[in-house]
Chains A and B, each alone.
Chain A
Amino acid sequence: MTFFAKLSTQQRTGAVILGCLALFAVAEMLLFSIDGNQQFLAQAFASPDWQAPLGRDQFGRNMFARLAGGLRISFTLSLICVVTSALLGVLAGVAAAWRGGWFDNLLNFFANTILALPGLVLILVFAAVVPGSFVMIYLAISLVIWVEYFRLVRAIALNQVASPALQSSMLMGFGKFYLFRRHIWPALKADVFSLAAFGAATSVVAMSSVGFVYVGLKPPTPELGLMIVELFPYYHEAPWLLLEPISLLFLIVLGFHLLAGKSR
């Protein structure tokens, strides 16, 4: 509760939006668990009714279920990507700043290799290696976010390691763990959180971009980007259908951006 209290209004709005979306995604699974892949061709483009509150798509599949499924995919992916990248990124960044020397050079080399290509290009190439694989996309996106973490954490840690406060504590005999806890981590906290929210937004956008060009998760998986590209040809017949995944994608990315706080 105190965590929520510390957020700014902007951040709270973001948290609320994300909370509602997550609630929708989880509630659908727990309370209804409708199969979003089951086709009812006779009911293609059906208008909303009690069974399918958000209508049915071109194959008569329940949009309510599909959208919830899509959100679950997006949330799961962003969560695991961010947790992986954050943990490894903070570890690597602090270690590189503290140890310096060859260790720092090695990590920097690795980071520069990843940075030599724009993220999406890297992700597309990875996606091509095993098409339709969630694991490959997860790996690629995590790498891209990891680099951001590494660079930011390393810069902040370098600054802190050179600071009088840390030097003073070191002179007084404190060990590395104390120095991290009192001097380095407080300087990192806010940025790690902010980057986590941005990273989550990036993962969702990357996944949907890759889905949009048909090289992400394969149909009939209800991934949001894939849904958009599949529904695009039916714009005239059922415009609301296309707007549904677009709005959800917009809301989830907006939620994460707002949660991240003041722009860097």
Chain B
Amino acid sequence: MKRIEVTNLTIHSSEGVIINNLSLSVSENESLTILGETGSGKSLLALAILGNLPPMLTVSGSVKVDGKEMLEMPASEAASLWGTTLVMLPQEPWRALSPLMKIKHQIAEVFRYVKRATPATASEDTHQLLAKVGLEQHAQKVPAQLSGGMAQRTAIACSAATGADIVLADEPTKGLDTARKDDIIALLKARKTKGCLLTITHDVQVAKALGGKTLVMQRGVVVESGDAEKICSQPDSAYARALINAAPENWPLREKSATTFSPLITVKNLTLTRGNQTLLEQVSLEIGAGEVVGLYGDSGSGKSSLADALLGLLPVSGEILFHQPLARHEKLKLYQDPPSAFCEEATLRTLLHDIIKLHKLSPPPLDKLALELGLSPGLLDRTATEVSGGELQRIALLRAMLLKPKFLVADEPTSRLDPITAEKVTRLLATKARAMNCTLLFISHDIHQLNNICDRVMDITSL
């Protein structure tokens, strides 16, 4: 019997159709991955299977779990399936764990209250489970003290504790570093031995690693389905192809240019501390004029702090030497979260004009520049909150370009963007920097992205 069976599911909201006539099924011992970008309605599908759809939506079709119809089921009956038959891994685990409770208690309570074990058994089982996910040393911590990866492993432990064999995983690797993603994928695969797994993700790498049946969704419609291996190497539909190609590891390799660069910045014996922690100790490096340099490292490794130090934003001990004197406005930065880098109230055009007035530039053709970056000029008349992340990051690039910088730091500029947009922005950044003969320091935790566009990649741990 099929464990999950979705037939002709259609979900409308007041703004339009979110899921359009979707049908899928997952049998015992099967794994299904749904691949698609944000806005494709994937998360709502998971909620529909749980029987926990928000009100105010128009739903038609059928969603059956072990033969029971979930769409019409009263809330209390659906809730009785949670933790016994079904369980869902949350999308943002650091927000899905109770802030004041130690993680070992959050796992133990599943054993005690859902599985009705005695306190002693519950404690023993919790200990074993924590060891299995590699968290024994962190048992006494509260969620605020965990990293993103640790929080996700805790959530996985909680769901494993339930013993429910239908597992729904909604974007299980969102926001995690590349290295952490592998850990999570391994844990998910280890569960597959019984029950079934339904994973929702926008990350091609994850889909490929999990294997099994895969559906590609675009704006609520299935555009392709088949085996993971085949879709990831030889996709049929245009959308799937775009998605696959957007993953940095699939980008065409760049020929390394043989140019040597005269040094722009020389750093000697730099030491950086924040509070009581020493982030960087006795670091020395050189950055060439006009070079595109990648800086690779995990979260918290000090990459952003190093860049801030080079920009003169952080006090450090050691020597930072600029071989050409650069004005304040010739050293600029692009930020990880585009909306937080703009004033929210004024229109973008006004902000750009502020810059033009300040530096008494001859008014550049803003609309033409926007078009060159793939943006429609009308966007400039909106405010920062009315524009998407990818568009805003390109406007940030336009803004920086107005000042003709000689040194530009891009601090994880594409981490918050969807894969296809991320690729566009990354390429634009590298192209424009080279065209302006501007030195670009590109910071990222994705080594493939860096290898592809940079002349040279530095690993922060080896500095």
A and B touch in the complex (CB under 8 A): yes
Q: Smallest distance from the beta carbon of A27 to chain B beta carbons, Å?
A: 38
Q: CB-defined interface of B341-368 with A at 8 Å, one 1/0 digit per residue?
A: 1111110000100110011000000000
Let me know if B335 is at the binding interface, CB within 8 A. Answer: yes
Q: How far is the CA of A171 from the CA of B399 in the complex (A)?
A: 12
- A168, B344: Cβ atoms under 8 Å? no
Which residues of the other chain, B, contact A168 by a CB distance below 8 angstroms? 332-333, 335, 341-342
Residues of A within 8 A of B333 (CB): 167-168, 171
CA distance A78 to B409 in the complex (A): 50
B residues 281-335 in Cβ contact with A at 8 Å: 311, 313, 327-329, 331-333, 335
A174–B332 alpha-carbon span in the complex (Å):
13
Interface of A is mostly: helix
Residues of A near B313 (CB, < 8 A) are 167
Residue numbers in B under 8 Å from A173 (CB-CB): 327-329, 358-359, 403
Interface size class of A (residues with CB under 8 A): 10 to 19
A182 within 8 A of B: yes
Q: Are A172 and B329 in contact (CB under 8 A)?
A: yes
Residues of A within 8 A of B137 (CB): none
> Cβ of B340 < 8 Å from any Cβ of A?
yes
Question: Complex: how many Å from CA A173 to CA B327?
Answer: 9
Residue of B with least CB distance to A189? B345
User: Contacting A182 at CB < 8 Å: which of B328, B331, B346, B399?
Assistant: B346
A170-203 vs B, Cβ < 8 Å mask (1 yes, 0 no): 0111100010001100100000000000000000
Smallest CB-CB separation from A186: which chain B residue? Answer: B345
B28: Cβ under 8 A from any A Cβ: no
Question: Beyond A172-B355, A173-B358, A174-B358, is A182–B329 a contact (Cβ under 8 Å)?
Answer: no
Asked if B340 and A163 make an inter-chain contact with CB atoms under 8 angstroms apart, the answer reads yes
Contact A165 B342 (CB under 8 A): yes
Q: How far is the CB of A193 from chain B (nearest CB, A)?
A: 15
Chain B, Cβ-Cβ closest to A179: B343
Q: Which of B328, B346, B354 contacts A171 (CB 8 A)?
A: B328
Q: Which of A106-120 contact B (CB under 8 A)?
A: none
Docked Cα-Cα span, A182 to B353, in Å, equals 13
Q: Does A101 contact B (CB under 8 A)?
A: no
| A164 near B340: Cβ-Cβ < 8 Å | yes
Give Cα A168 to B411, complex, Å. Answer: 12
Chain B residue numbers with a CB within 8 Å of A169 are: 343
Chain B residues within 8 Å of chain A by Cβ, number: 24
Q: How many A-B residue pairs have CB under 8 A?
A: 48
Cα distance A46–B332 when bound, in Å? 78
Contact (Cβ within 8 A) A183 B337: no
Interface residue ranges of A21-59 to B (CB < 8 Å): none
Do the beta carbons of B354 and A165 come within 8 Å of each other?
no
Check if A171 sits within 8 Å of B344, measured CB to CB.
no
B residues near A183, Cβ cutoff 8 Å: 343
Q: Which residues of B contact A178 (CB under 8 A)?
A: 354, 358
Q: How far is the CA of A163 from the CA of B329 in the complex (A)?
A: 18
Distance A186 CA – B399 CA, assembled complex (angstroms): 21
Contact between chains at B341 and A171 (CB < 8 Å): no
Query: Chain B residue with minimal CB distance to A174?
Result: B358
Cα A171 to Cα B341 with chains together (Å) = 12
In contact, B341 and A165 (Cβ under 8 angstroms): yes
B185-199 vs A, Cβ < 8 Å mask (1 yes, 0 no) = 000000000000000
Question: Which A residues touch B329, using CB under 8 A?
Answer: 171-173
Nearest residue in B to A169 (C-beta to C-beta)? B343
Residue of B nearest to A187 (CB): B344
* Min CB gap A154→B, angstroms: 21
Q: Please, what's the 1-or-0 string for B229-270, where 1 marks a CB less than 8 Å from any CB in chain A? A: 000000000000000000000000000000000000000000
Contact assessment for B358 and A171 in the assembled complex, using a CB-CB cutoff below 8 Å: no
The reply to whether B343 and A172 form a contact with Cβ atoms under 8 Å apart is no
**Inter-chain contact A172/B403, CB cutoff 8 Å:** yes
Convert A140-170 into 0s and 1s, putting 1 for each residue whose CB lies closer than 8 angstroms to a CB of B: 0000000000000000000000011101110
A203 to nearest B CB, angstroms? 31
State whether A164 touches B335 (Cβ < 8 A): yes
Alpha-carbon gap, A164 to B392, bound state (A): 14
Q: Give bound CA distance, A182 to B343, whole Å.
A: 6
A165 to B337, CA, bound (A): 10
CB closest chain-A residue, reference B344 = A186
Given A163-B340, A165-B343, A186-B345: A171 touches B311 (CB 8 Å cut-off): yes
Nearest-neighbour CB distance to chain A for B102, whole angstroms, equals: 30
14 sample A-B contacts, Cβ–Cβ < 8 Å, listed by A number: A164-B335, A164-B340, A168-B332, A171-B329, A172-B358, A172-B399, A173-B327, A173-B328, A182-B343, A182-B345, A182-B346, A182-B351, A183-B343, A186-B344
Instruction: Rank and list the top 6 A-B pairs by shortest CB-CB distance, nearest first.
Output: A173-B329, A182-B343, A164-B341, A164-B335, A164-B340, A168-B341
12 further A-B pairs in the complex, CB-CB below 8 A; given A172-B403, A182-B345, A182-B354: A163-B340, A164-B337, A165-B341, A165-B343, A168-B332, A171-B332, A173-B329, A174-B354, A174-B358, A178-B354, A182-B343, A186-B343
